[in-house]
Amino acid sequence: MTGIDTLLADNLDLWTSAIARKSAGGRGRSRKFRLHGIDKLRSLILDLAVRGKLVPQDPEDEPASELLKRINPLSGKATKFRQNPLDKRDVPFEIPPTWLWARLGDTCILENGDRGKNYPNKSALTATGVPFVNAGHLQDGRIDVENITYIPDALFNRLGSGKFKVGDILFCLRGSLGKAALVTGVSMGAIASSLVIVRFSEFVDAKYGLMYFASPLAVQMVRRYDNGTAQPNLSSRDLGKFLLPLPPLAEQRRIVAKVEELMALCDRLEAGTYEAIDAHQFLVTELLTTLTASRDTAELAGNWARIETHFDTLLITEDSVDQLKQTILELAVMGRLVPQDSNHEPASELLKRIRAEKAELTKKGQAKKSKLLSSPDQTKPFALPPGWAWSSFSELSLGEEAGWSPQCEPYPKTGSSWGVLKVSAVSWGEFRPEENKALPDSVQPRAELQVAPNDFLISRANTSELVARSVVVGMEVEGRLIISDKIVRIFFTKNVSNQFMNLVNSSAYARQYYAGVAGGTSSSMKNVSRSQIGSLLVPLPPKPEQDKIVKKYNVLCESCDALKRQLATAMQGQLALADAIVAKAVE
């Protein structure tokens, strides 16, 4: 075994278990995670490769110093740097004696595209013809031939430069800086202005060059020479200054073969890890579904006891704990979380008192004007326990109001100034007062729209995932915050718990309801009307039971959050260990 083989085998569990959670989900459930350990392993392989530590040196190989002497410029367009020999202080690390530090421009031709009058614009693109490649077509070291664009043969023939061929490397100079691809599967083509052609000498293996561009050293070079501000940018001349550790040609080929072997192993580890993640999440989902399928609290207790014995193997990721929290929420709104008490006033009687209360307020002229409509006939999503009754937000509220969105400053309020809440303040399951924009001093605040303790706030416009999300404001809230016109405040009767209404609004059937009624032409911005919010079905328990459910839910969620913190701490330890092993390996 080589050193890297031993390192890989001895730490196999670490590479596959060091998993970081992404800030935002990608495509597919398992893509919520980033395989930090395997990512670090890939980076380590490339780092060792360009340091001469991946394969043993062969004293019979022709030294790289002789190779460089034999590299002949293939065109007068080649960028040459031999006139500026490298200083020892320039090189970032030691390399084997048979290797040589070179400037990239001394080993290849760097050719920009034709940026003159013949440069193809969008109107010149055709369905067939000669491939015209831009940065978006460079994917995983290859050209994405399925989504490639074309230009007419006549236009291609008029181009004075930027024509690539098989074996060239296309390197991105702007935007996705450092992205590179080896030309295969396409016999010829032209490049967009954001790319440059890297055509290595016959004494540099193009696959070694592509591997170099993916290495941590090349990333370091990109950062050194990036001269962009808002958009990352390199010139081809600066690219030519990149430091390239050049091995003998025979060793380049051995390195490429070893890298391909190890990257294939990383691919298998990655596929296996994602498969294991998906299988684990499927298992968690299936087992937690047995809890929500429980017919009553007694059956739930039995199912919970059976699953609880396996929590140590089920609840091993933050996502699985989140699934458990959502299951607890579903149990709460279905009446399975706490036992019913026959001594409690039934919800049917509670609804009579609420109707009487609303009628009395209306008679006195004290009822708030409301756009919440009575709930239309809807299929009830589940059976209710004894003493519960179906209702709706409109039936349980005394009114509601939308906020106000004047032109605000682009920054949050400070001190005693006024601020207007952004919709993100109510989007994430907890009230976030810092998500606001300062009201200009010249604008008179509307104090009647100021947020108050225990307010129930719900968004009426957001992405498809976040529209109609709600929060309940805590009892201690920063003053001088105004709700915006994308936020609705609902005034529920005192006979219902705002916290329980928030649980109902966060349930799976509520999210399904809003997904069905939300308007808007794209998933990036959906909206719901106040009448649609008012029509949400509410499984209503007696008032004392509402309070018990909220208390039990909060206690269980505190335990879940504590477990998530423990898992996060343990995972940070795994990530740090992976980083430390990689750092040690390249010393």
Query: DSSP letter string over 457-470?
Result: EEESEE-TTTTT-E
- 22 shares a domain with 127: yes
* Per-residue pLDDT tens over the stretch 44-87: 999 999 999 999 999 999 998 888 777 754 444 444 445 456 77
Asked if residue 176 belongs to a domain, the reply is yes
- 276 or 313: which leads in pLDDT: 276
Q: Write the CB contacts of 55 (distance below 8 Å, at least 6 apart in sequence).
A: 2, 251, 254, 255, 258
Whether 326 shows a pLDDT value over 80: the answer reads yes
Residue among 119, 181, 194 at smallest CA distance from 151: 119
- 39 shares a domain with 175: yes
Q: How far apart are the first and last CA of the chain?
A: 20
Res 185: pLDDT: 87
Query: DSSP letter string over 174-241?
Result: BSSTT-EEE--S-SEEEE-TTEEEEEE-TTS-HHHHHHHHTSHHHHHHHHHH---SSS-B--HHHHHT
Res 298: pLDDT: 80
**481 in Cβ contact with 528 (< 8 Å):** no
- Minimum mean pLDDT among 143-157, 271-285, 362-376, 472-486: which range? 362-376
Overall pTM > 0.85:
no
Asked if residue 578 belongs to a domain, the reply is no
Res 466: pLDDT: 94
When pLDDT is cut at 50, 70 and 90, the band that residue 564 belongs to is confident
Q: How many CA atoms lie within 13 A of 372 on its CB side?
A: 27
Residue range(s) defining the domain that contains residue 124 = 3-268
Res 550: pLDDT: 96
- 246 shares a domain with 111: yes
Asked if residue 281 belongs to a domain, the reply is no
Res 368: pLDDT: 62
What mean pLDDT do residues 227-245 have? 86
* Per-residue pLDDT tens over the stretch 494-526: 999 999 999 999 999 999 999 999 998 777 889
- What mean pLDDT, rounded, does the chain reach? 88
Question: Domain ends where: 240, 268, 296?
Answer: 268
- 501 shares a domain with 397: yes
Asked if residue 72 belongs to a domain, the reply is yes
When pLDDT is cut at 50, 70 and 90, the band that residue 30 belongs to is very low
- 228 shares a domain with 363: no
- Minimum mean pLDDT among 100-109, 147-156, 297-306, 324-333: which range? 297-306
* Per-residue pLDDT tens over the stretch 345-388: 999 999 999 998 888 888 877 666 565 555 556 788 899 999 99
What mean pLDDT do residues 415-430 have? 94
Question: Domain ends where: 509, 524, 541?
Answer: 541
Which pair of tokens denotes residue 60? 């019979």
Burial bucket for residue 416 (CB in 10 Å: 0-12, 13-18, 19+): exposed
Asked if residue 534 belongs to a domain, the reply is yes
Asked if residue 304 belongs to a domain, the reply is no
- 382 shares a domain with 246: no
Asked if residue 583 belongs to a domain, the reply is no
Question: Domain ends where: 268, 284, 319?
Answer: 268
Question: Which of 226-230, 354-358, 427-431 has the highest mean predicted lDDT (pLDDT)?
Answer: 427-431
Q: How many CA atoms lie within 13 A of 185 on its CB side?
A: 11
Whether 154 shows a pLDDT value over 90: the answer reads yes
- 223 shares a domain with 115: yes
Q: Write the CB contacts of 327 (distance below 8 Å, at least 6 apart in sequence).
A: 288, 291, 292
**534 in Cβ contact with 373 (< 8 Å):** yes
What mean pLDDT do residues 29-44 have? 80
- 109 or 280: which leads in pLDDT: 109
- 379 shares a domain with 256: no
Distance CA 117, CA 115 (A): 7
Which pair of tokens denotes residue 388? 């519960």
Total tally of structural domains belonging to the chain = 2
Asked if residue 340 belongs to a domain, the reply is no
**407 in Cβ contact with 439 (< 8 Å):** no
Res 535: pLDDT: 94
Q: What is the CATH number of the domain that holds 191?
A: 3.90.220.20
